[in-house]
Amino acid sequence: MRRPIDTDALQRVMRAALSSEAAVCAPAQLAQDAAAFAALDPAVLRRPTLIGGATPYGPTSPAPTAHALDALVRRAEALDVRQILVPGVRRSDDTGPLRAAGFVPFAAGSECVLWLTGDVEDVLRRHVGDDRHRELRGHHHALSQEVTWERIPLRELDGSPWARDAFVELHRRHAERQGDLPNPYNTAALDALVQGELGARTDMFVRRRKGTVVQAGLTTTSHNGRGIYCLTQAVDGPLAPDSLHEATVYQLYLDSRHAGLDWVHLGRGDEEGGRRLGADLFVPLDHWLRAEDLTAPEQAEAEPALSRFAAPPVTTVPVPGPARFRHMPRFDTVDLSSNTNPFLGGEGQYPHLDTAELARTYLTTIGGLPGHEGVGALSTDHLLFTSGAVDGVMLLLAALASPGERVCVTPPTFPLYTHFARVLRLPVVEAPLRGDELSELDTEGILAADPRVTILCDPNNPVGTRLDRAQVLDLVARARGLVVIDEAYVEFSENPSYAGLIERHDNLIVLRTLSKAWGLAGARCGIALAQPGLVEALRRVQVPFGFTDASQRSVRDRLTNSGPALAAIASIRAERDRMAAALAEHPVVERVFPSETNFLLVRLHKHERVMERLRGAGIAVADTGHVVPATCRVSVGDRRANDALLEALSFAL
């Protein structure tokens, strides 16, 4: 509801409900907003207040312009009303005029929206997980057996007077249960809605059990024709209200998908409740109140302060293009800004840029894994999705280092660190790993080189071992530059991640990937975890739209339904240990290095001959002899593939 003509229509509905020429009531009469105003003086809550914007009926009120606010203030003065409330304004809107006019914000929950990106069953499974999906589907199926479902266009309501009467009665009872408040949908209000601009786009839905109406509500199609808003619903009768509500939301999803709509707006509420219904977009809202003795809080920064490690050119440029507006939802606008083809379906649209909810899902999922203590303290501002972890390496070198500044690597290690550094004209210094297991850092050598960026691969690729944790922590604490820890294989390790330490160190970046343990190499999803100022620097370098909608759907599905992936990790660990034992006893193998990954580094007798025989047997392993003499890196496959390797090695004798 972003158009003045729509908000004006809802204003008329409220005035009709109040039997008044002006939308004036006490904030205490707005039942659903009691929590938002809990800290206010009771006298303020009882004082007559002019309600501006879309009123509590609408999902949001567009932030009023300075001109509109002047008119609202004059209206309040003419009515001799001392308070003004503009409810449900998106935080992403320009709220500067509200602050300038003396309005104070109060948190009002979030708009909850579900994007219908495919079959409803697939979407819900991806968003809420298998168990919750079965629960929602079960409620819908059970209630469908005993409760009917009807939708009546509001302009045809005269042909169903029983539905009109039941709707008004259910909302009257609901208002009584809320403390005998005014009924926001009495007969006059409903008539005003029918006759107004929204009447042609609004349907009433009704559920009956044995002829008795047990639920009635309203949905309105958005002005861009792409989705629906759930305006209201009231329940009364012997059925469990929560189950009935969930079944109705499920039915609205089915109807909307059948009608070719892209989204369903569930209204205003708490995010956790919206998530349980499958919502995946949450738009924070505030109520703005102007009253005596209210002081506006200090305005928070729109973006986090840039890190001190940002390269000088990065400090002079903003986040590129449309990514600057990633927190500004466009689901209910007519978007003519992107020069795309509107005639060839959803793939013609650019990917969603607001990945905050997916970031929350990732942090919640890994925060429950062993060795990830402290991750729960991170917010979505600490995370940036990249096109694989290697893209994260390129981004951070471009954003945080300038030509001539040194990059330190610790061979043997992943070769693309050096590759990207040289492409960006950054000198590379090497501080080789030490110890029999190649797990010890040359800390003093690294510090003496004073690099701008030190990149550690932990667990190490190609060795498979973990670095000495005390040495890593010492390096992070003492280094003047950045320390980047690539944890591509950390889920296979029994030792902890460094992700939980991000909040303590402004020079620490942890790279993760979903290509390995999570089995999504084709989705190209990497994660950079760092303090928000560092993430902001990376975002200024990142190309927008690199994280496709298809990849986002795959990632959400895997994280929400993580059981198979976690079971596969356990299977890989078990098979890794079996293979390590078998290879250690094999005559062609000199040594198997300890591994906390999904691969094994193996030193061979007669390395070149064995590699030739493996190639001849149609088995590909990574020849790492150029970095660790006489070795190959063997990925852990399934049992059949692993046994084929053992058999081929026997023929190599």
Q: 436: buried, middle or exposed (CB in 10 Å: 19+, 13-18, 0-12)?
A: exposed
At position 230, the amino acid (one-letter code) is C
Give residue 612's pLDDT band: very low, low, confident or very high (50, 70, 90). very high
Residue 153 forms beta bridges with which residues?
203
- 300-348 pLDDT tens trace: 556 689 999 999 999 999 998 888 888 888 889 888 888 989 888 878 8
- 528-575 pLDDT tens trace: 999 999 999 999 999 999 999 999 999 999 999 999 999 999 999 999
Residue 462 contacts residue 433 (beta carbons within 8 Å):
no
User: Tokens 């160190």 — which residue?
Assistant: 505
pLDDT at 29 over 60: yes
CA distances from 151 to 140, 176, 219, 231 (A): 16, 26, 10, 14
Give the CA-trace dihedral at 165, 234, 196, 220, to 10 degrees.
-130
Give the distance from CA 156 to its chain's centroid. Answer: 40
Are β-strands 453-457 and 482-486 bridged in parallel, bridged antiparallel, or unpaired? Answer: parallel
Give residue 33's pLDDT band: very low, low, confident or very high (50, 70, 90). low
Please state, for a pLDDT cut of 70, what percent of the chain lies above it.
97
Q: Which carries the bigger pLDDT value, residue 147 or residue 302?
A: 147
Give residue 2's pLDDT band: very low, low, confident or very high (50, 70, 90). confident
Q: What is the pLDDT of residue 298?
A: 64
Alpha-carbon distance 307 to 509, whole Å?
12
Q: What is the pLDDT of residue 60?
A: 82
Q: What is the pLDDT of residue 91?
A: 92
Give residue 122's pLDDT band: very low, low, confident or very high (50, 70, 90). very high
- 382-432 pLDDT tens trace: 999 999 999 999 999 999 999 999 999 999 999 999 999 999 999 999 999
Q: What is the pLDDT of residue 330?
A: 86
Q: What is the pLDDT of residue 360?
A: 96
Give residue 79's pLDDT band: very low, low, confident or very high (50, 70, 90). very high
Give residue 31's pLDDT band: very low, low, confident or very high (50, 70, 90). low
pLDDT at 649 over 80: yes
- 493-521 pLDDT tens trace: 999 999 999 999 999 999 999 999 999 99
3-state secondary structure 176-209: HHCCCCCCCCCHHHHHHHHHCCCHHHEEEEEEEE
pLDDT at 34 over 80: no
Residue 640 contacts residue 652 (beta carbons within 8 Å):
no
Q: What is the pLDDT of residue 180?
A: 65
- 432-488 pLDDT tens trace: 999 999 999 999 999 999 999 999 999 999 999 999 999 999 999 999 999 999 999
Mean pLDDT of the chain, nearest integer: 93
Task: Please give the structure tokens belonging to residue 53.
Answer: 């914007």
Q: What is the pLDDT of residue 653?
A: 66
pLDDT at 43 over 90: no
- 202-242 pLDDT tens trace: 999 999 999 999 999 999 999 999 999 999 999 988 888 88
Q: What is the pLDDT of residue 609?
A: 93
Q: What is the DSSP letter of 434?
A: B
Handedness of CA 610, 611, 612, 613 (dihedral sign): positive
pLDDT at 148 over 60: yes
On the question of a cis peptide bond just before residue 459, with omega within 30 degrees of 0, the verdict is yes
Average confidence (pLDDT) over 113-119:
94
**Residues 6 or more apart in contact with residue 175 via CB below 8 angstroms:** 31, 181, 182, 183, 184
- 254-287 pLDDT tens trace: 999 999 999 999 998 889 999 999 999 999 999 9
Q: What is the pLDDT of residue 633?
A: 98
- 356-385 pLDDT tens trace: 999 999 999 999 999 999 998 999 999 999
Average confidence (pLDDT) over 617-621:
95
Q: What is the pLDDT of residue 218?
A: 96
Q: What is the pLDDT of residue 299?
A: 58
Q: Could you tell me the pTM of the whole model?
A: 0.92
Give residue 169's pLDDT band: very low, low, confident or very high (50, 70, 90). very high
Q: What is the pLDDT of residue 466?
A: 98
Average confidence (pLDDT) over 5-24:
90
pLDDT at 171 over 70: yes
Q: What is the pLDDT of residue 32?
A: 63
